[in-house]
Amino acid sequence: MRIWTWEIYIITFVATALIFFSGAAIGFYVSSTVSNPIISQIDSANDNMLNMQLLLNSESNPELFCSMYNGLYPKFDSETWAIGERLEYLEMNKKAFDPSIKFKYYQLEYRDMLMAKKAVEICNESIENIIYIYSNKEGECPKCNEQGKELWYLRNAYQNSSDKIRIYSFDGSSANDSMIVDMLRQAYGFTSYPTIIVNDRVNGKFMTEQEIKDQIE
Amino acid sequence: MEIIMVVLYISAFILLYLTITFVVLFALKHNILHFKPKDLEDKDLKTLSVVLPVYNEGEALRKTLDAILNCDYPKEKLEVLIVDDGSKDNSHEIAKEYEKHGFVAIRKEKNSGASDSKNTGIFRAKGELVATLDSDSVIEKDAFRKLSCYFEEEGVSAVTAAIRVREPKNIVEKVQAIEYDSILFLRRLMMAVDSIYVTPGGLSMFRTEDIRKIGGFDINSLTEDQEIALKLQKAGKKIRCALDAFVYTSAMPNLDMLVKQRIRWVRGGIWNRVKHKDLFSSDYGDFLYFGMMTDILVFIPSIIMISSIIYSFFKPQMMWMERIGVDNFVLGFLSDPLFIITASMVTVTFLWLVYMVNSIRGHANEKKLNIIKEFPEVFSYLFLFGYLWPYIWVASLLKEITGSKRTWSTR
């Protein structure tokens, strides 16, 4: 007996394809609505950072730079961190994530890092500088998720104290695609993941919140 | 896009395609649910032999025998053969007590399995029709009568009953009750494309002449009720599914026994397909796709999808919720096209399941599914029970490949 003709196979295929591609389209639409605000957040933070850089380059008034940096520090800190968290989550969980957004963010982080170093130098600020190198490549860094959590706890601990800490995350496996990550690789020579660089001291291993705190002290 | 993502998308597409296949089949052939053969008067009913294989059933056997005793099939046209398969308890003595009602108690000294016991009865049966049922099946009064009416159609060699779970108590049994109802619905739908591939041991009726011609049940098969259906399909015979001839059977009471039972089913299914590999031919029409292929097609994509879902589940998702906030977490999920596709598939399956169960409950004059009250079993069936299947398939395949001992036991 044959009821299930080729026409019915094709109708079923078309119905399936309709649902399938509608699902995919909705997913991609939501994905772009998630990405767009991140891009504008990065752009806005970059603009603020650029203004500060201009102020610093003019060198006419270091006091003005220091007072402005001090005032804007909480904003820089929270903005950059929040963007980073969202990006890391999207990247780890959504394989279809656009990497160009990440590279844009690295520029922001790098600017922020240079600015923080200048603030330490010129304004006598005390800012602990942590660089976290992770990898999202399958099997390359099984402990990265855990390391991210430890850094999150560390940052939360510093939020409640008067000491300042900046944590910058970079995907080490993207060194060939991002000039900034390549520069960091050449500067610090990291080869394994996770790598935690605490105030320029390179630790090519997983570190708990306490271990990082101990090294800072 | 990474290769794993391509594989996941293809798997999702195949699973969605198979789900839609049954929705389309229903759209085209929904009238099949209302089909009812003409009721027959007593004088027009065929003579019937009921074969009941028994092994260590004890006092529980009385329930089955009493139900047969109280059925409305004309007594002069009914023969009941209770074949004791070398029980070590008092099952045979209980069967003998019913001899006063005209039942025949047959005793086999050595235990040789249910198939052999059924064959003993089938080849001794005097009826034009023969019904086989499990020793824990409790039939409704009119089940035999309703089944026998289907044999008026030419070419019908077997009719399956509406097998449902008897008094489900715990969650494992309740999940099986939902499963049995949905299987019953699908079996009826498969009737529209002549692709029924199992005549369940709970209760099925056969034309005696036809079942003898194909040699009865295969004593080597772990699922002889499927093997016999494949033989009938091969012989070009029709199998029908009655939606109103109810029989109630016990479900597996715990997960361990359930898994063992399902491994036996799947192993039996693999063995039967290898034995009847010639059925993998377009000569058998729709049976090739619906009877032989659909569960094989489901198997590999299910393994891939479910492994991926479990992998994602074990990733510390909840920690992310805390780190980035619930709104970003939910948005992150929604931005995954695969999640949207999977969610569409689950939605279609859920609505489909509710419709199937309600349809069967409607036939049994029972209350409709209460989604809130019965949420645990519906959820378990959709999300946990479904996940079990691919692993049961893998375990069964491994057991078949390594030649592990084939056993009927679920204990």
Please give the Cα distance from B348 to B60 (Å, whole number): 40
* A93 to B2: CB separation less than 8 angstroms, yes or no: no
User: Out of 3.50.50.60, 3.40.30.10, 3.30.365.10, 3.90.870.10, which CATH number does the structure's domain A130-217 have?
Assistant: 3.40.30.10
Please give the Cα distance from B194 to B237 (Å, whole number): 9
Q: How far, in Å, are A39, A178, B321 from residue A36 at the CA level?
A: 5, 21, 21
A120 CB burial (10 A radius; 0-12, 13-18, 19+): middle
Please give the Cα distance from A189 to A204 (Å, whole number): 10
Q: Which of A1, A26, A92 sits opposite B194 (nearest CB)?
A: A1
Q: State the nearest Cα–Cα gap between A78 and chain B, in angstroms.
A: 12
pLDDT at A47: 85
Mean pLDDT of the residues in chain B: 88
List chain B residues with CB under 8 Å of A149: 316, 319, 323
Q: Give yes or no for residue B342 having a pLDDT over 60.
A: yes
Q: State the nearest Cα–Cα gap between B38 and chain A, in angstroms.
A: 24
Q: Which of A4, A20, A145 sits opposite B193 (nearest CB)?
A: A4
Q: State the nearest Cα–Cα gap between B1 and chain A, in angstroms.
A: 7
Please give the Cα distance from B266 to B256 (Å, whole number): 15
- Which of A119-123, A130-134, B40-44, B404-408 bottoms out in mean pLDDT, i.e. has the lowest? B404-408
Residues B337-356: what's their mean pLDDT? Answer: 81
Q: Give yes or no for residue B11 having a pLDDT over 70.
A: yes
Residues B356-375: what's their mean pLDDT? Answer: 91
Confidence of residue A158 (pLDDT cuts 50, 70, 90): confident
Residue with tokens 């105030």: A199
Mean pLDDT of the residues in chain A: 83
List chain A residues with CB under 8 Å of B287: 1
Q: How far, in Å, are B16, B218, B369 from residue A14 at the CA level?
A: 11, 42, 32
Confidence of residue A127 (pLDDT cuts 50, 70, 90): confident
pLDDT at B46: 96
Residues A13-21: what's their mean pLDDT? Answer: 90
Please give the Cα distance from A197 to A212 (Å, whole number): 9
Q: Give yes or no for residue B405 having a pLDDT over 80.
A: no
* A19 to B21: CB separation less than 8 angstroms, yes or no: no
Burial profile B311-348: b = 16 or more Cβ within 10 angstroms, e = fewer:
eeeeeeeeebbebbeeebbebbbbbbbbbbbbbbbeeb
Q: Which of B20, B289, B340 sits opposite A4 (nearest CB)?
A: B289
Interface with A, mutate which of B7, B323, B344 (most A CBs under 10 A): B323
Contacts of B409 (CB under 8 A, 6+ apart): B260
Residues A142-167: what's their mean pLDDT? Answer: 85
Burial profile B245-276: b = 16 or more Cβ within 10 angstroms, e = fewer:
bbbbbbbbeeeeebbbbbbbbbbbbbbbbeeb
* Helix axes of B171-191 and B3-29: crossing angle, nearest 10 degrees: 60
- Which of A54-63, B109-118, B296-305 bottoms out in mean pLDDT, i.e. has the lowest? A54-63
List pLDDT tens digits, range B20-75: 899 899 999 999 988 999 999 999 999 999 999 999 988 889 999 999 999 999 99
B32 CB burial (10 A radius; 0-12, 13-18, 19+): middle
Q: Give yes or no for residue B335 having a pLDDT over 50.
A: yes
Q: Is the pTM of this model over 0.80?
A: no
Better-predicted residue by pLDDT, B281 or A59: B281
pLDDT at B408: 55
* Helix axes of A6-58 and A99-123: crossing angle, nearest 10 degrees: 20
Q: Which amino acid is at A32?
A: S
Please give the Cα distance from B7 to A140 (Å, whole number): 21
Residue spans of the domains in chain A: they are 130-217
Put residue B215 in one of left, alpha, beta given phi > 0 → left and psi -120 to 50 → alpha: left
List chain A residues with CB under 8 Å of B22: none
Cα–chain-centroid distance for residue B173?
14
Confidence of residue B411 (pLDDT cuts 50, 70, 90): very low
Q: Give yes or no for residue B164 having a pLDDT over 60.
A: yes
List chain B residues with CB under 8 Å of A33: 331, 335
Overall fold of domain B34-253: Spore Coat Polysaccharide Biosynthesis Protein SpsA; Chain A (3.90.550)
3-state secondary structure (DSSP) of residue B88 = coil
Q: State the nearest Cα–Cα gap between A152 and chain B, in angstroms.
A: 8
* Closest Cα in chain A to B29: A3
List chain A residues with CB under 8 Å of B194: 1
List pLDDT tens digits, range A80-118: 888 887 787 777 665 446 778 888 888 889 988 888 888
pLDDT at B7: 83
Please give the Cα distance from A22 to A25 (Å, whole number): 5
∠A20-A22-A23 over CA atoms, to 5°? 65
List pLDDT tens digits, range B292-327: 988 888 888 877 877 776 666 555 555 566 666 666
- The closest alpha carbon to A166, from A114, A217, A210, belongs to A114
List chain B residues with CB under 8 Å of A8: 24, 28
pLDDT at B332: 64
* Measured distance between the N- and C-terminal CA atoms of chain A, rounded to whole angstroms: 81
Better-predicted residue by pLDDT, A36 or A152: A152
Burial profile A24-45: b = 16 or more Cβ within 10 angstroms, e = fewer:
bebbeebbeebbeebbebbeeb
pLDDT at B304: 80
Residues A1-9: what's their mean pLDDT? Answer: 83
Considering chain B, what percentage of its residues have pLDDT values greater than 70? 90
Residues B378-391: what's their mean pLDDT? Answer: 79
> Which residues of chain A approach chain B closer than 8 Å at the C-beta?
1-4, 8, 11-13, 15-16, 19-20, 22-28, 30-31, 33-34, 85-86, 89-90, 92-96, 138, 145, 148-149, 152
Chains A and B form CB pairs within 8 A to the count of 116
pLDDT at B39: 93
List chain B residues with CB under 8 Å of A1: 193-194, 285-287
Q: State the nearest Cα–Cα gap between B193 and chain A, in angstroms.
A: 6
